[in-house]
Amino acid sequence: MIELKLYNISELEKLINSEQFYNFKNIPISLHRAKSHFQNPRADKNDTIMIIAFKNNEIVGYMGILPDFLFSTEKVKFGWFSCFWVDENLRGEGIGTQLVEKVLSEWGGKILITEFAPLSKKLYLKTKSFEQSTFLNGIRLYNRFDLQYILPPKRNLFKQIKGLLKITDIILNSLFDIRFLFYNQKLTTLKIKKVTTFDSETKDFINSNNTTQLFKRNAFDFEWIINNPWIINSPKIDLLNKKYYFSSVAKSFEYFCYNILNANNEIVAFLIFSKRENTLKLPYCIYKSEYLQDIILVILQQIIELKISTFTTYNNEISAQLLKQKTNSLFKKKMTREYLISNNLKDYLNSNFIIQDGDGDCVFT
């Protein structure tokens, strides 16, 4: 017999602080991810943020929900699906569907989903609650050889020769990195400044330039995000994190925030990069369009300085420009990201809107 239990912030806090939590075979959330949920400035104390399926007092499935607002003709509260899992031995028995339907009914059918696995999409579509989707076009730049990570998941043979692949990466990268020595495009009249605290100028810039964005994140939201990552730096996975299906640690994970200033020291762009080991993303990028080319220069400089293997962005303008121009990358690949929109939300999304790469839970991983 499967029992579904609903958790709001205080109920989830109680669960993760209980002794029982440490004795479960599977846990529904890592401690730092839970802490991040508790601080979410867009969450209300009564929002259901987790539904757990229990069988014989063991956790056999769960679905997390990240509360958010979208800004259309009106401000609308909704939830993002986040971390959906069912015990391997019980898959295909309908527990996943029960979880999805319960979340939909709890959230008045107002749900957005992105970064889902193809098989889960089939499940979501079967509920008939997601009949519309929207896509972002992006690009991935491959800048350095990373065979030791790219090949092993594809074939067992590559797993066995991981050491050899690592040496191959070192040799190829030392040869191919020479091309970066000849890269000398620098920002001319603009300056780049690291943001560690959000001063009033940065706040004003963000607030006055986020008006076309669907989720209108402000400095307060960004402070919450960068102070509460879902991936923490650790050389190895501890016992508790082993009980969690989704990734919660990495050898390195960090955010970098930058302001770009013009000759008059006025902010013309605000960027948040996230770097996980050798991969770089640009979860948020608020900028004045005439400075697009300068943003591209900053991205290309970051790739070189931080020795980035792959950089991915779904910003349509930046991707289109990176696709056109010379970048010094080894390869470029076009990317698309799909967003499933629940039927009860689709009427709010019929005009032009901007979704940032980091929206939803994408910024956290």
Ligand X SMILES: CC(C)(COP(=O)(O)OP(=O)(O)OC[C@H]1O[C@@H](n2cnc3c(N)ncnc32)[C@H](O)[C@@H]1OP(=O)(O)O)[C@@H](O)C(=O)NCCC(=O)NCCS
Give me the residues that bind ligand X (CB under 6 A), please.
84-86, 91-97, 116-117, 119-120, 122-123
- Smallest gap from residue 62 Cβ to ligand X (A): 9
**Which residue's CB is nearer to ligand X, number 192 or number 237?**
237
Based on CB atoms, which residue is closest to ligand X, 63 or 195? 63
Shortest gap between Cβ of 119 and ligand X (angstroms)? 3
The two structure tokens encoding residue 348: 């709010």
CA distance 97 to 127: 8
Answer yes or no: are the C-beta atoms of 254 and 189 closer than 8 Å. Answer: no
Q: Which is nearer to ligand X, 35 or 121 (CB)?
A: 121
Q: How far is CA 115 from the centre of its chain?
A: 8
Where does the chain show beta strands of DSSP type E?
3-7, 50-55, 58-71, 75-86, 111-114, 132-142, 191-194, 232-233, 249-250, 253-261, 267-276, 279-287, 310-313, 331-341
Return the number of the residue (92 or 163) whose C-beta is nearest ligand X. Answer: 92
Residue 329 beta carbon to ligand X: minimum distance, rounded to whole angstroms:
29
Minimum CB distance to ligand X, residue 204 (Å): 38
Q: Which of 306, 239, 277, 235 is nearest to 365 (CA)?
A: 277
3-state secondary structure 130-147: CCEEEEEEEEEEECCCCH
Rank residues 84 and 215 by Cβ distance to ligand X and give the closer one: 84
Q: How far is the CB of 252 from ligand X (least distance, A)?
A: 24
CB of 77 to ligand X, least distance (A): 23
CA angle centred on 64, ends 344 and 335, rounded to 5°: 75
Question: Closer to ligand X at the Cβ: 24 or 220?
Answer: 24
Q: How far is the CB of 245 from ligand X (least distance, A)?
A: 6
Nearer to ligand X, 243 or 288 (CB): 243
> What order of strands is seen across the sheet that includes strand 111-114?
3-7, 50-55, 58-71, 75-86, 111-114, 331-341, 132-142, 310-313, 279-287, 267-276, 253-261, 191-194
